[in-house]
Structure 1
């Protein structure tokens, strides 16, 4: 592959409420056994990108622990590899990352030492499959300065949550609005970009000179009429988990056979760090219907249309419906959970009832254990 990869995984997201108070969004659990960043990393290795940098900052402890061995994504190699970069105090700079462009600028030495002619930039908080080789081929064929991977939203989805674009008949982007109050287009940017490495270095250095820090606002939008920026349409499944409702819906989507088969049975595969845990155990009296159950879990009660992550204990006569139970949660006997997300490392006392009415309820017990 003629490209180096950059995964932006350092942002603070308050829209996830308590779920990101102690972890990065890229470390959010997905589909009972994965983390959000696994999908971007898997796309990189499946596209034969040999050198990938992950830029972390906010609540990075659990994310760094998840990435402590590159072998799970086949980056344990002599040539290339997986690099984790956090903000570093130097004689010239004492700032945290002030934006996505600034995060790249503070690690510009990494790009200057690379020899690959192109760069693939993506975020760590989206669930999707994509062959970056096809995007790169499209980028070269169009003789583009920057290629943005775009997605046409379905009816009912809110485009104002994203950057919206308008393209002409040749797919050149003519308008780009970041999170508009009123969206004039249902085509949105997925936060995946391809451009030449040398050009990225020049653009980021120019931003730094003018004290501009954001890649979208200060590069894409600012240069949309000066650079040839094209859109590459993504046709498969893509979802961003930047809010409580979209995080919940993304996990619920994996209960649909077509989504589950697309990610887990159709090649290329999605990879993740594997723990030494036994299979889930279903004791006499357990009733499970249309669920994903993580390894190390023990089920005694009734679980329907839910996603349970690793090491979850469901007590006797418990009922769980349409809910997400994160890692290492203990549910006491006679507990009722519906339309909820239960934070990890928590103990839900016996005879407790939590029901989300009208919106998804995030359950965080005061006796929670330290989060991962």
Structure 2
């Protein structure tokens, strides 16, 4: 494929997501029992045979590097191409990169070394069945200067609505600071453009203090740019809040959505970990849930996502919850609408209860 990719490890937005990205990048946020957010975008790129993928790492990227390594599990550990982590460089008088333009400017050497004509720029928190080969063909067939991905859904806080004509050419945009309650062509942070144009934009954006390619550049140049919107069909989720994170994991319990994501012909690859099968004890009672390997279940689990190596003891009840790797729920404990980070421990007879719209969160290594 005649394109390389710059994949951001974070979105440069202040997404708390319940504190789960305080000490890890957004890209390495665990989802769906055994995956990280970055797995989805990496898998879509590998499916399209994108030869070079550079992940721009800014801060707290230890877990990301531990997960992706040299890209072996995605067949990206190649001699002259493949996956490369682009660590942060100090910027004179400012410290680490504060926005995407500063981060892209730090990747100048990597961008210049690429032999492909086109660049794909993408955020890691987008989950949808996107065909990058088809998107590039769409871009070239329309002789576009820039092609952005859009999905027809309600925009979230801070997202952009793209106005397009009957040929999907964009002619205007609208920034929704507080979201909107109607469906429209909502911009996804996935863009294809020529390498030379990218270098020109980075130079201008860095000198003028821009923060967002579409809001600060494209929206002011519709009259001189050919900007097209590539429509994403089917399920689409952007994880930028605790609510979105919880909803996506619960969506995986919907058979139709789960099949669309995992059985659409695009294999979702992740780091392989050899682990024993999950053990279901005599008193285990599991309904409508997803469980990874290595767990020991002796209690009740309903409508929940259970990651690797979780222990749920006899008499414990877990409902509508997400338990990350290494969580221990001891005898008699009751959890409802709870999200635990890795290696949390819930002691005997403790009762933790959140709500569908506001989950109770437990930090990493916390003992309750």
- With normalisation by structure 2, the TM-score equals 0.94
TM alignment of 1:130-209, pairs within 5 A? 130-153=130-153, 157-181=154-178, 183=180, 186-209=184-207
Q: 1:1-372 to 2 correspondence within 5 Å?
A: 1-10=1-10, 11=12, 13-89=14-90, 95-153=95-153, 157-181=154-178, 183=180, 186-357=184-355, 359-364=357-362, 368=366
Deviation at residue 160 of structure 1 after TM alignment: 4.1
Q: Which runs of 5+ in 2 are unaligned?
A: none
1:265 and 1:182, CA in 2 relative to 1: closer, same or farther beyond 3 A? closer
Distance 1:160 1:367 in 2: 31
C-alpha distance after superposition, 1:246-300 (max 9, x if no partner)? 1001011111111222232331201000112211111111011111101111100
Q: What is the DSSP-based 3-state SS (H/G/I as helix, E as strand, rest coil) of the residue aligned with 1:260?
A: helix
CA separation of 1:216/1:9 partners in 2, compared to 1, >3 Å: closer, same or farther?
farther
Contact 2:353 2:360 in 1 (8 A): no
- Displacement of 1:111 in angstroms is 0.9
Aligned equivalents of 2:286, 2:73: Cα separation in 1: 30
CA gap 1:122/1:195 in 2 versus in 1, 3 angstroms: same
Paired with 2:25 and 2:19, the residues of 1 have a C-alpha distance of 11
Aligned pair count? 365
Q: CA RMSD in A?
A: 1.9
Distance 1:56 1:222 in 2: 29
CA distance in 1, matches of 2:132, 2:313: 45
Separation in structure 2 between the aligned mates of residue 56 and residue 16 of structure 1, nearest angstrom: 19
Provide closer, same or farther for how the CA distance between residues 143 and 93 of structure 1 changes in structure 2, counting only shifts above 3 A: farther
Shift of 1:151: 0.3
What CA distance in whole angstroms lies between the structure 2 residues aligned with 1:280 and 1:22?
28
Q: What TM-score comes out, normalization by structure 1 length?
A: 0.93
What CA distance in whole angstroms lies between the structure 1 residues aligned with 2:119 and 2:93?
A: 24
- Cα 1:120–1:93 change in 2 (3 A) is farther
Asked if 2 retains the 8 angstrom alpha-carbon contact of 1:102 and 1:214, the reply is: no
Partners of 2:26 and 2:351 in 1: CA distance: 28
Q: Distance in 1 between matches of 2:360 and 2:282?
A: 30
In 2, distance between residues paired with 1:316 and 1:152? 45
**Do the aligned residues in 1 keep the contact of 2:337 with 2:360 (CA within 8 Å)?**
no
Distance 1:260 1:185, change over 3 A: closer
Distance in 2 (alpha carbons) for counterparts of 1:262 and 1:182: 26
Range with greater deviation from structure 2 (339-348 or 300-309): 339-348
Q: Give me the whole-angstrom Cα distance separating, in 1, the residues matched to 2:171 and 2:98.
A: 27
Q: Matched residue of 2:42: which SS? A: helix
The DSSP-based 3-state class of the residue aligned with 1:208 is: helix
Counterpart of 1:14 in 2: which secondary structure?
coil
